[in-house]
Structure 1
Amino acid sequence: MLRPMVATTAVTAALILLAGCGGDDKKSDAGSENSGGTTSSPTPSAPAAPTFDPPKAFTAAAAYPVPDYDGRGMYDEPKRGMVGQVALVVNYRGITGRDVVDPSKAWEIKSAAAETTKVSDASDPMVAKVDGKDVAVVAYAESDKGNGTQKPSGLVVVHWIDVTTGQKIAEVSAKVSTLQGTGDLASGTPSLTTAAVDPETGQVAVGVVTAGNAGSDQTVFADPATQKSTVVPGLSPAAVHAGVFAGTPSKSSEKGDGSVSLVDGASGKVTKQVPLKQAYLEPLAGGSKHAYFYGHKEASYSGGTQGEAFFVIDLATGAVAQTVAAAPSDFDVKVACLPDQATAVVCSSTTQQGHPLELLGFDDSTGKKTWGFTDKSEGRVVPRVTAAFHGVVYAQTEAQPVLLDAKTGLDLPSAGSSESPSAGETPSAGETPSDSTSPTAADTPSDSQSAGGSDMSLYNGKPESPDAVSPFGGIYGQLPQGNSVGSTDLQSVTIYLKPTA
């Protein structure tokens, strides 16, 4: 039986404020515009927030609206991440950051500055350390309609942003195609397939495919230190580490000779090929030591998926660390892997309709499978994995959010109470701000509105498993709802989960 994750609704001003008022007069470093980014006016800093590494219980503490915008495409859905105490939201418009300790500190960096450029895709925000700074990395697929005598072209543009200041520290642009025409579906319009980051260097490998007959899958390798890129044709990447990425050919092979290639990112040179005797392989998000792939033995098939397996490849040597047979299914499946930013990687498979089939855990230091179960396992329900962080897997069942141990797959016990306080209840003493941090009368929010842009009337009261986690808590997305004025003009709502244990 999976144990529920605590998620209680905070309805009092003390919890909504997140200690966002009062404090010293230190100014934010992000109080100016830089490299396409704009920030809010500097405000006094807030007291330190509680942290847990990893957090195992939460309370819903803030609801931040994500405004809609003119010209948004139908596939432009917000993607969320968390770096330290900064919550991130990415869409085609750009990336925004909000300090969850002091929500008045917010910034935004646009995806493209030129009016002739249109964004056609965006990656999830990725986490890295660059020169000791906490950095968010995001990649965009863009179409440059051309200027003067220049032909239209397809681009992959990567931004590295210091989340503390909201300033861009590096940007790399790589040309991946020349567009034939300028419409949204013009031949050569790029879109992203996979994206991987080396958390120690910030180097990225981004998979891109272009529409029509303008080109096949490619990998863009980009380095923030040199601010240079390399385009490697014919490969889709799974993982990158120490300047080397692991990728696989994008086309199926009737001969069953599908393989994995190790590539030196700076030069684009293939240093090793690893034959796996598969018709084709799907690249999955890797850890810092290994790359993970999902193999298919047949190039085309009907009536379900058969003979698939997980392959784990050592990024340093190219050795096959593990081959794990996948659970059989009568349906086509979707497979994904998530690293926990420590030593574990969790992989899951679901049907195309979203029914969870299998959950596997790997020790990324060795590449070996450590645990796993399927929807056929007695006494276990396969949850939908939403995040992994420092030894904990965060997941959602039909009934509630749950926690699993990333090293063993066992349920983690809940901490605290799962009951939500009623409107008349008072938070415990530990949740009440001290006199020195209590807001003044002028700062006190209304029943639903709080300082820093949170509007708890947007929260639907149904806690969900977080999409991204740090020691400062977690966040997830929710569809707009409620009676808040202008809620119909929102693309989504970001729910911040304050850690309590």
Structure 2
Amino acid sequence: MPAFDPPTRFAPTGAALGEARPGDVLLHGTTAFLAGDAQTTVVEVGSGHRLSVLTPEQSPITRNPAAAGHRPVLIDLSGKPAVVVPYAVEIPASGTVAARQAVELLVIDATDGRLTKTVTVDAKPAEGDFSLVARDHVRVIGGRGSVVVLGIGKQVTVAVDVSTGSTLWRDNDFDASALLGDTVVGLTAPDSGYRRSITGLAVLDGAKRWSALSVANAELAAGGPSFLVAVGQQTDGKRFYTLIKKDGTLVNRTKGEYGAGLRCSYDEAAVTVCAIGNSQPLFALDSTTGDDLWQLPATGRRAPRMTVAWHGAVYGTVNDAAVVLDARTGTDKEVSPGVAPVAVTVHGGLAADPSDGTALVFHPALG
């Protein structure tokens, strides 16, 4: 298959790979991982050939069909690339043992799509039942060696050694957002004044390493290997923005009219691109230093709605028309790319079928 790094033009039509929400997909080389509510499908994108269809051993608990909830995450599992897909599951009653809910992880070889193992984690959300969880049931926050960190419901964090299946630690009052090196960064459960602390825990034992700031109405987003991005409300009621390093240091802290809906995309190279809400600024940061690179809208220019950033390119739409920006400068790189992909490799991009938002199509790269 032709390769372009990064691709900026895509074929208008492509191969239908299967169904999954746009937030529940991963591209790795020429392999796509599509995590649906009941199964994960692994497909070779060039031919459309299904390498495997993998299902949890227990019955998955489905959720709001409009929301993502099984996002595959690529980890380095003791030197080998692996994909971990999380599912909330129902374990039926057996003998005198009552039925219960748990988390099941599919651990997949990223090179051939083969199921390496499944790991069952005895864990429930703080809400008491997965049916009461308003966000993703369970999220893979990240992995370090054989240790995988999970976020469950609104404020439960669990670290699991997937090589042994053992739970290393559990914190029922911590909402993890990212793994920076060997530190899990997130928010503590709200106190009586509805304030939370931005805190770092050790990945191996969950011990508290630092607490950086007490905030309200805060949102954290992973910004790559060096920092998290945070927006929230200070004790004086003013909204703020800051970057959080893995040692708890706050960088570029500023006050402003920052709204809700923070999301960031690390381009897996050198730039982190973030958006706040649908109609507020799109801005880019150097993913090592955190330095500001550019922001849109600007005089005479509109801000696109970002779908993903990858290898120096930002993909998105302006008034439903696809566009590609240069991640370093923010200038238009391609105004007629064909599609706005939600996941990208050198060979092409995955985009939702316009007629069916859960049907995903691989569009080969043309340039």
Interval containing the TM-score (normalised by the shorter chain): 0.7 to 0.9
Going from structure 1 to structure 2, the CA distance change for 1:207 and 1:293 (only over 3 Å counts) comes to: farther
Structure 2 vs 1, CA of residues 334 and 194 (structure 1 numbering), >3 Å: closer, same or farther? farther
Shift of the 90–252 alpha-carbon distance from structure 1 to 2, 3 Å rule, reads farther
Give the direction of change, closer, same or farther, for the CA distance of 1:181–1:156 in structure 2 (3 Å limit): closer
Return closer, same or farther for 1:148/1:228 CA change in 2, 3 Å cut-off. same
Question: Between the two proteins, what is the percent identity of the paired residues?
Answer: 22
Q: Higher relative contact order by CA 8 Å / sep ≥ 6: 1 or 2?
A: 1
2:252 equivalent among 293, 310, 322: 322
Q: Which residue identity is paired with 1:385?
A: M
Once residues 139 and 220 of structure 2 are traced to their aligned partners in structure 1, the CA distance between those partners, rounded to angstroms, is 8
Deviation for aligned residue 1:478: 1.9
Using structure 1 for the length normalisation, give the TM-score.
0.64
Please give the per-residue CA displacement for 1:154-187, whole angstroms capped at 9, x wherever unaligned: 32333331133211234433222399998x74x7
Counterparts of residues 411-490 of structure 1 (less than 5 Å): 411-413=332-334, 463-478=338-353, 480=355
Deviation at 1:308, TM superposition (A): 2.6
Structure 1 pair 239–145 and aligned structure 2 pair: CA distance change class (3 A)? same
In the superposition, relative to structure 1, how do residues 274 and 224 fare at CA in structure 2: closer, same or farther (>3 Å)?
same
Matches within 5 A, 1:27-426: 49-64=1-16, 66=18, 79-110=24-55, 112-115=56-59, 118-120=61-63, 122-177=69-124, 185=131, 191-192=136-137, 195-198=140-143, 201=145, 203-209=147-153, 217-229=155-167, 230-251=169-190, 254=193, 258-275=196-213, 277-297=214-234, 307-315=238-246, 317-328=247-258, 333-350=260-277, 355-374=278-297, 377-413=298-334
SS of alignment partner, residue 469 of structure 1: strand
Distance 1:67 1:90, change over 3 A: closer
Q: Which deviations, in whole Å up to 9, do the C-alpha atoms of 1:314-358 show, x marking residues without a partner? A: 11x2211332445456xxx311111111222111012xxxx4211
Q: Which amino acid aligns with 1:287?
A: G
SS for the counterpart of 2:295 is strand
Say which one has the larger Rg: 1
> Which letter maps to 1:126?
V
Q: How far did residue 189 of structure 1 move?
A: 10
Q: Deviations over 1:473-500 (max 9, x none)?
A: 110112546xxxxxxxxx8321111112
1:446-472 Cα offsets, whole Å, 9 max, x none, are: xxxxxxxxxxxxxxxxx4300001112
Q: Distance in 2 between matches of 1:409 and 1:203?
A: 37
Name the SS for the 2:61 alignment partner.
strand
- Deviation, 1:244, is 2.0
| In structure 2, distance between residues paired with 1:391 and 1:102 | 27
Distance (whole Å) between structure 1 residues aligned to residue 304 and residue 319 of structure 2:
8
Cα distance in 2 between the residues matched to 1:202 and 1:411: 41
Structure 1 unaligned residues grouped into runs of 5+: 1-48, 69-75, 210-215, 300-305, 419-462, 482-490
| C-alpha spacing 1:181/1:174, structure 2 compared with 1 (3 Å) | closer
Aligned mates of 1:261, 1:181 — CA distance in 2:
24
8 Å contact from structure 1 (residues 155, 190) kept in 2: no
**Letter of the structure 2 residue corresponding to residue 356 of structure 1:** S
**Do the aligned residues in 1 keep the contact of 2:148 with 2:160 (CA within 8 Å)?**
yes
Superposition deviation, residue 394 in structure 1: 0.9
How far did 1:235 drift?
1.2
Amino acid at match of 1:493: A
The residue identity in structure 2 corresponding to 1:387 is: V
Q: C-alpha separation between the residues in 2 aligned to 1:255 and 1:174? A: 30
Deviations for 1:81-112, whole angstroms, at most 9, x for unmatched residues? 211111221121121111112322431111x2
Q: C-alpha separation between the residues in 2 aligned to 1:337 and 1:109?
A: 29
Answer yes or no: is the 8 Å Cα contact 1:342–1:389 preserved in 2: yes
The alpha-carbon distance between structure 1 residues 318 and 472, as it changes in their structure 2 partners (threshold 3 A), is same
Q: Of Structure 1 and Structure 2, which has the larger fraction of its residues in strand? A: 2
Which residue of structure 2 aligns with residue 459 of structure 1? Answer: none
Contact between 1:143 and 1:189, CA under 8 Å: does it hold in 2? no
Q: After superposition, what is the alpha-carbon deviation per residue over 1:402-438, rounded to whole angstroms, capped at 9, x for unaligned?
A: 1122223222245xx87xxxxxxxxxxxxxxxxxxxx
Q: CA RMSD in A?
A: 3.3
CA pair 119-53 structure 1, distance change in 2 beyond 3 A: same
TM-score by length of 2: 0.85
Q: Would the alpha carbon gap of residues 321 and 253 (structure 1) be closer, same or farther in structure 2, given more than 3 Å must change?
A: farther
- Give 1:190 shift: 9.2
2: CA distance, partners of 1:77 / 1:346: 18
Residue aligned with 2:261, SS: strand
Name the count of aligned residue pairs.
Answer: 362
Q: Which residue of 2 aligns with 1:428?
A: none
Change (3 A) 1:311 1:178: closer
**Alpha-carbon distance in structure 2 between the residues aligned to 1:132 and 1:180:** 36
Cα 1:50/1:201, change in 2 over 3 Å = farther
Q: Pick closer, same or farther for the CA change 1:471–1:388 going to 2, 3 Å.
A: same
